[in-house]
Amino acid sequence: MDSSTIIFLLLAVVAWGMGAFFDKMTLRYVDPSGAFYMRTLFMLVIFIPFLLWKYSPTKQALLGAGKIASVFILSSVLVTVGGVFFYLKALSGGEASKIVPLSSTYPFITFLMVYFFLGESFTLNKLLGTLLISGGIYFISK
């Protein structure tokens, strides 16, 4: 991995960690459904100006990508939105120090899907690494 990839990865980890903290704080004052819809509203307010600003390149990219890309983008949005909703429901009913790590075991699902559907290479090291990370997260949350 090059250094810019590592920097972006670390920034993502810090942002997601802080996001989970703020999610748990929000759930002290708002039920999970309310938090979900408030989050969606704030995202729209933030992203609509950027979408309007980048409308032409976004439209070009969408038209150039073909219909199947639109299907994959929509699928990603739907499962991500569903994941956020289910995550907030789980977070409202449990300790953040347990729910957040357990929700972070999703790489195992990705590992299986990219192997079976995208033909990425299967190695024992990748499987063991993914299982050890997911298992470690499970034990940390106990």
Residue 130 lies in a domain: yes
- The answer to whether 36 and 85 have CB atoms below 8 angstroms apart is yes
pLDDT of residue 138: 77
pLDDT of residue 107: 81
pLDDT of residue 12: 85
Domain containing 78: what range? 3-94
Considering the entire predicted model, what is its pTM?
0.78
pLDDT digits (tens, 9 = 90+) for 3-19: 988 898 888 888 888 89
pLDDT of residue 38: 95
The encoded tokens of residue 37 equal 């819809």
Say whether 44 sits in a helix, a strand or coil. helix
Domain count, the chain: 2
CA distance 125 to 53: 44
CA distance from start to end of the chain: 32
83 with 115, same domain: the answer is no
pLDDT digits (tens, 9 = 90+) for 121-132: 889 998 898 888
- The answer to whether 97 and 130 have CB atoms below 8 angstroms apart is no
CA–chain centroid gap for 129, Å, is 20
- With 90 as the cut, is the pLDDT of residue 33 above it? yes
110 with 83, same domain: the answer is no
Residue 99 lies in a domain: no
CA distance 48 to 41: 11
CA distance 100 to 137: 9
pLDDT digits (tens, 9 = 90+) for 51-104: 899 989 888 888 888 888 888 988 999 999 999 999 999 999 989 888 888 888
53 with 20, same domain: the answer is yes
- The answer to whether 85 and 39 have CB atoms below 8 angstroms apart is no
Single residue among 56, 74, 94 that ends a domain in this structure? 94
